[in-house]
A = this chain, B = another copy of it.
């Protein structure tokens, strides 16, 4: 089929989805075109559970040849947190060859316009969605997420975030019309008349620097926002989580080529161990946009040194839950227990510090002392994770040895309210599965500060005793301001305290969840409705997804003619 008719077909097929996405980013209502249930896959060309597993297994031990120009080596070496060797090798780029090749396709991609770019992006997402089960294994065996989470967060939720970015990109590029007639009256003389055309033009080549824990979920927003705004996109995955993004790049290249565009508009930059390729790429003049998820130190380095690029970062923060009072003590404990356990606390949104008044809290089950709250929460976690099968399904595996080391060190920081235990994984005996640790710290003691005011990424939380609600609010404010926060939670039945917590979050710019006691957790956000991060505190300089996330990825060139 000719390229033009492919574009036409894709528009007919995907325009309704785009329109719905454009509607929900305005209403913020619930919506997703990507099913969460594993059994929803298997029809209309999508892989079911068995086929997805088989596809993943077939990838192991192979060379993933993406057909990229300037490939000077084959690199790999990913080892699953579940212990299996993936054995996949990927192209290593000669960037002096690859970058010019990527730019070669940009004119046609720019000329295609915002709508065609959007529907091509939606076709890429559709084919990724069809292979959700295959991606689930790829995400599981790189991030250490349990299978169900890898399927949902690495599949439909990531695809939703990609689609959301495409919708924002389309909306932003089409706010200015393609063409305008401008007529300025001149009194009795003839008016001044100009015809003006406006074209969205890309910045250049965009770089996506992937992370270990959520390669697709954190990678897709930047990838699709940049591609939909006309940029070529170079994906530099985390060396421990290459496969999910390599598959993504392969699908993108396939769709682009089928639609008549240059496959090289999207390419992979896998690296040799210790090569530090991200640093080299980040300051290349061709790289005009960078999306990064990872450590604060490298995020800060990018913000300081990559002056030639628009830099969007998600770094580390210290997430706080302020516990003041509740009318559903059991629900609160259950909700917190789940939040602390999910993916072994290896989410950038997992609560770390639980601020609990020293004199205790009021609840529907009577007054509870600080010690009782800590003990009851420990029991709730133990109850939730008492069964090994359930624990494995919730916790997943520790993603790397650093997390394990931090977990082991944490119990020396204070009195342990809940000790971590090892959970055996029947299918993957090498997986390191650990339940979370809860450590009691005195918020008034200066020596405890070093612990609770640092991010301790992994299954480590602190029950921090505070002298008063005012102290809790002050500590919350200071934590957000100095350390950043992806999420803040609070439990209170007092309208005054609720307002005070809200005011701190508004002033310090953090996303707040209040009194969550049911099936929504502080560490989970839904695309199209929830913002992930605020972009206004040190944890991240961007939010997923808003207009600021896309508006700088393109520029508008105007041509005026009489």
Query: Is A175 a contact of B547 with CB atoms below 8 Å?
Result: yes
B304, B516, B556: the one contacting A562 at CB < 8 Å is: B516
**Stretch from A77-85, A181-189, A275-283 at the B interface:** A181-189
**Stretch from A48-56, A196-204, A416-424 at the B interface:** A196-204
Contacts of A177 in B (CB 8 A): 26-28
Per-position binary interface string of chain A over residues 478-505, scored 1 when its CB falls under 8 Å from any chain B CB and 0 otherwise? 0000000000000000000000001101
Contacts of A29 in B (CB 8 A): 180-183
Query: Is B518 a contact of A562 with CB atoms below 8 Å?
Result: yes
Complex Cα–Cα for A520 and B562 (A)? 8
Complex Cα–Cα for A153 and B72 (A)? 57
* Chain B min CB distance to A542 (Å): 9
Residue in A503, A518, A526, A548 with the greatest tally of chain B CB atoms within 10 Å: A548
Contacts of A28 in B (CB 8 A): 176-177, 180, 182, 196, 198
Complex Cα–Cα for A192 and B185 (A)? 57
The verdict on A523 contacting chain B, using a C-beta distance below 8 Å, is no
Chain B residue nearest to A194 (CB atoms) is: B520
Query: Is B184 a contact of A512 with CB atoms below 8 Å?
Result: no
The verdict on A558 contacting chain B, using a C-beta distance below 8 Å, is yes
Contacts of A181 in B (CB 8 A): 29
Query: Is A530 a contact of B196 with CB atoms below 8 Å?
Result: yes
Query: Is A520 a contact of B175 with CB atoms below 8 Å?
Result: no
Query: Is A559 a contact of B514 with CB atoms below 8 Å?
Result: yes
Query: Is A529 a contact of B182 with CB atoms below 8 Å?
Result: yes
Complex Cα–Cα for A560 and B26 (A)? 17
The verdict on A406 contacting chain B, using a C-beta distance below 8 Å, is no
The verdict on A303 contacting chain B, using a C-beta distance below 8 Å, is yes
Contacts of A562 in B (CB 8 A): 514-518, 520
B183, B507, B514, B552: the one contacting A30 at CB < 8 Å is: B183
Query: Is B559 a contact of A30 with CB atoms below 8 Å?
Result: no
Query: Is B172 a contact of A557 with CB atoms below 8 Å?
Result: no
Chain B residue nearest to A197 (CB atoms) is: B502
Query: Is B548 a contact of A199 with CB atoms below 8 Å?
Result: no
Number of chain A interface residues as a range: 35 or more
* Chain B min CB distance to A192 (Å): 5
The verdict on A110 contacting chain B, using a C-beta distance below 8 Å, is yes
Complex Cα–Cα for A201 and B511 (A)? 12
Contacts of A520 in B (CB 8 A): 192, 194, 560, 562
Contacts of A515 in B (CB 8 A): 561-562
Identify which of residues 286-330 in chain A touch chain B, using a CB-to-CB cut-off of 8 Å: 303-304, 307
The verdict on A337 contacting chain B, using a C-beta distance below 8 Å, is no
The verdict on A165 contacting chain B, using a C-beta distance below 8 Å, is no
Complex Cα–Cα for A263 and B177 (A)? 38
B182, B199, B547: the one contacting A526 at CB < 8 Å is: B182
The verdict on A74 contacting chain B, using a C-beta distance below 8 Å, is no
Per-position binary interface string of chain A over residues 511-540, scored 1 when its CB falls under 8 Å from any chain B CB and 0 otherwise? 111111111100000100111001110000
Complex Cα–Cα for A182 and B530 (A)? 10
The verdict on A510 contacting chain B, using a C-beta distance below 8 Å, is yes
Complex Cα–Cα for A502 and B547 (A)? 28
Complex Cα–Cα for A303 and B562 (A)? 37
The verdict on A506 contacting chain B, using a C-beta distance below 8 Å, is yes
The verdict on A546 contacting chain B, using a C-beta distance below 8 Å, is yes
Query: Is B536 a contact of A184 with CB atoms below 8 Å?
Result: no
Known: A198-B28, A562-B520. A548 touches B557 (CB 8 A): no
Query: Is B509 a contact of A557 with CB atoms below 8 Å?
Result: yes
Residue in A27, A199, A519 with the greatest tally of chain B CB atoms within 10 Å: A519
Query: Is B182 a contact of A558 with CB atoms below 8 Å?
Result: no
Per-position binary interface string of chain A over residues 425-459, scored 1 when its CB falls under 8 Å from any chain B CB and 0 otherwise? 00000000000000000000000000000000000
Complex Cα–Cα for A512 and B556 (A)? 11
Complex Cα–Cα for A510 and B509 (A)? 36
Q: Which residues of A contact B (CB under 8 A)?
A: 25-30, 107, 110, 172, 175-177, 180-186, 192, 194, 196, 198-199, 201, 203, 303-304, 307, 502-503, 505-507, 509-520, 526, 529-531, 534-536, 543, 546-548, 551-552, 555-562
